[in-house]
């Protein structure tokens, strides 16, 4: 050991080696407490402005305990190395570089809850991080998250004053992640999350239930890229999301809409630039009074749903585009009328989809660029004297909304430029059979063409 006397209020100690050492560091915000079997350090210094600096720290043996003053963050770490660390008591600043560990338990409680800003919140800057075998538990009044993290790396993790945490080049890979919240739960068998780089979730299950309502999703694989810093602020930004062969079940019972209060507003904002869902299996059933509506999309080879520029926030849900390509799909409304296709083709191209609440009621709208059905289900199936058969029908340039679909006059008035084309079918009565091929109707010109 060597020690050099310096100015009053300072010290400089080099080549430190200790055993069975009790270590306590506190800067008013964070406390580091440990009783370690072996402590090594290249240097430990304190300079006149109140900052204490340690270089080449190595702890071996008992776990190192770290927690902040409000006990929101508590970590227990074993086999940890720190290239350098600086604690500034008066400014409540902590910085560290070259932090590595091989075994850790991290508990985070109520970290994202809203609180009054602190006058002197201090700063935390940790650079060049690499950890292995880390158990993570996050809990707040809305739910919990548990995960086994195999590897975590980051160029830096920082928190400046009362601002949100920020990361640079964060990479996390692990398994057995489970989340529970109010009326919902989910699990992921394996996961990888990287800053603005390919990420994935394997064998994802998610379920939300409230009363008789149910939303259940399973997918063997989801790939995406994410802005990690946006996830830490409840303003999610996801890119190039690809969901493989999901199975989706939705049961919805129409109830009185809740009052449009701040408590009912979304607590997060989600933006997805592009979404691709391959070969989905979707079952939706909705009840309103005694009427039942349903949407069924069968899992078939090559089927897909694609969407772009999706946003969910206080203004509602919006899609710039939404397209469906399937062989079997069918929608039945409360009036028992069906539209879709069985073992044929369903091509639907929608734009500018908006779903929001206006004056206490749900409002939706969309522009149908094109809809093309081969082997369509009979629109008049179950009706008496039904002798109409269609083998194909296409339509384009149709505006639909929650205010015009139940009013034919308004629907036609809203769709002067609508066209029906490529219609092939036949109609039979007791004496004659009428057949037509590639027939069409132009609403603007009020003209039928064959």
* Angstrom distance (rounded) from CA 388 to CA 436: 12
Burial class (CB in 10 A: 0-12, 13-18, 19+), 77: buried
Q: Sign of torsion, CA 407 408 409 412?
A: positive
Q: Which range (26-40, 261-275, 343-357, 403-417) has the least confidence?
A: 26-40
C-alpha closest to that of 371 among 426, 422, 295, 413: 422
Report the share of the chain in percent with pLDDT over 70.
Answer: 74
Per-residue pLDDT band for 21 (boundaries 50, 70, 90) equals low
* Angstrom distance (rounded) from CA 328 to CA 295: 11
CB-based contact 424:391 (threshold 8 Å): yes
- Please give the mean pLDDT across all residues of the chain: 79
Is pLDDT above 80 for 300? yes
Q: What is the pTM of this model?
A: 0.80
Phi, psi at residue 412, to the nearest 5°? -65, -40
Give the model's pLDDT for residue 357.
81
Is pLDDT above 50 for 1? no
How many other C-beta atoms can be found within 10 angstroms of the C-beta atom of residue 318? 16
Per-residue pLDDT band for 310 (boundaries 50, 70, 90) equals very high
How many angstroms separate the Cα of 423 from the Cα of each of 1, 343, 418?
92, 18, 14
Is pLDDT above 70 for 337? no
Residue in this structure with the two tokens 């109609």, named with its chain if needed: 427
* Angstrom distance (rounded) from CA 22 to CA 26: 13
Per-residue pLDDT band for 6 (boundaries 50, 70, 90) equals very low
Q: Sign of torsion, CA 279 266 73 48?
A: positive
Q: Which range (187-201, 264-278, 340-354) has the least confidence?
A: 264-278
Report the share of the chain in percent with pLDDT over 90.
Answer: 30
C-alpha closest to that of 425 among 359, 369, 379, 382: 379
C-alpha closest to that of 156 among 226, 72, 229: 229
> Does residue 411 sit in helix, strand or coil?
helix
> Does residue 95 sit in helix, strand or coil?
strand
C-alpha closest to that of 396 among 369, 422, 423: 369
Ramachandran area for residue 405 (φ above 0: left; ψ -120 to 50: alpha; else beta): alpha
Is pLDDT above 70 for 392? yes
CB-based contact 334:288 (threshold 8 Å): yes
Higher pLDDT pick, 326 / 142: 326
Is pLDDT above 80 for 443? no
Is pLDDT above 70 for 76? yes
Per-residue pLDDT band for 336 (boundaries 50, 70, 90) equals low
DSSP type of residue 195: B
Q: Which range (34-43, 272-281, 367-376, 415-424) has the least confidence?
A: 34-43
Range among 71-75, 152-156, 393-397 with highest mean pLDDT value: 152-156
Q: Which residues contact 264 (CB under 8 A, 6 or more apart)?
A: 258
Is pLDDT above 80 for 323? yes
Per-residue pLDDT band for 183 (boundaries 50, 70, 90) equals confident
Phi, psi at residue 264, to the nearest 5°? -95, 0
Higher pLDDT pick, 286 / 122: 286
Give the model's pLDDT for residue 383.
52
CB-based contact 153:168 (threshold 8 Å): no
User: Radius of gyration of the chain from Cα atoms?
Assistant: 31
Higher pLDDT pick, 353 / 359: 353
* Angstrom distance (rounded) from CA 206 to CA 278: 18
């Amino acid at each position: 050991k060597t020690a050099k006397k310096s100015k009053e209020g300072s010290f400089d100690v080099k080549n430190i080696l200790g055993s069975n050492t009790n270590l306590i560091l506190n800067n008013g915000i964070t406390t580091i407490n440990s009783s370690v079997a072996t402590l090594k350090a290249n240097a430990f210094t304190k300079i006149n402005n109140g900052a204490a600096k340690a270089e080449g720290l190595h702890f071996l043996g008992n776990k190192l305990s770290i927690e902040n003053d409000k006990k929101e963050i508590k970590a227990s770490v074993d086999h940890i190395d720190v290239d350098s660390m600086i604690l500034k008591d008066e400014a409540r600043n902590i910085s560290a570089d070259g932090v590595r560990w091989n075994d850790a338990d991290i508990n985070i409680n109520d970290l994202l809850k809203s609180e009054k800003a602190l006058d002197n919140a201090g700063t935390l800057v940790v650079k060049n991080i690499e950890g292995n075998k880390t158990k993570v538990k996050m809990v707040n009044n809305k739910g919990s998250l548990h995960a086994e993290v195999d590897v975590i790396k980051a160029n830096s993790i920082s928190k400046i004053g009362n601002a949100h945490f920020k990361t640079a080049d964060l990479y996390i890979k692990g398994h057995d992640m489970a989340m529970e919240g109010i009326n919902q739960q989910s699990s992921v068998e394996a996961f990888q999350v990287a800053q603005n780089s390919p990420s994935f979730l394997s064998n994802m299950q998610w379920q939300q239930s409230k009363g008789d309502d149910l939303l259940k999703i399973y997918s063997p694989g989801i790939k995406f890229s994410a802005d990690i810093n946006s996830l830490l602020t409840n303003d999610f930004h996801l890119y190039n999301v690809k969901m493989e062969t999901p199975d989706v079940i939705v049961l919805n019972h129409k109830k009185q809409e809740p009052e449009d209060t701040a408590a009912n507003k979304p607590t997060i904002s989600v933006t997805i630039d592009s979404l691709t869902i391959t070969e989905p299996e979707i079952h939706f059933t909705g009840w309103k009074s005694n009427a039942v509506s349903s949407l069924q999309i069968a899992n078939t080879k090559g089927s897909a749903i694609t969407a772009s520029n999706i946003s969910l926030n206080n203004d509602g849900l919006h899609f710039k585009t939404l397209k469906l390509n399937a062989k079997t799909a069918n929608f039945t409304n409360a009036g028992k009328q069906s539209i879709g296709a069985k073992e044929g083709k369903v091509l639907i191209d929608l734009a500018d989809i908006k779903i929001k609440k206006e004056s206490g009621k749900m409002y939706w709208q969309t522009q149908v660029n094109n809809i093309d059905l081969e082997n369509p289900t009979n629109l008049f199936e179950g009706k008496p004297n039904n002798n109409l058969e269609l083998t194909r029908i296409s339509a384009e340039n149709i505006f639909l909304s929650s205010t015009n679909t139940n009013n034919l006059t308004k629907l036609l008035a809203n769709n002067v430029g609508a066209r029906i084309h490529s219609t092939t079918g036949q109609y039979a009565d007791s004496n004659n059979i009428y057949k037509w091929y590639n027939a069409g109707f132009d609403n603007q010109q009020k003209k039928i063409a064959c």
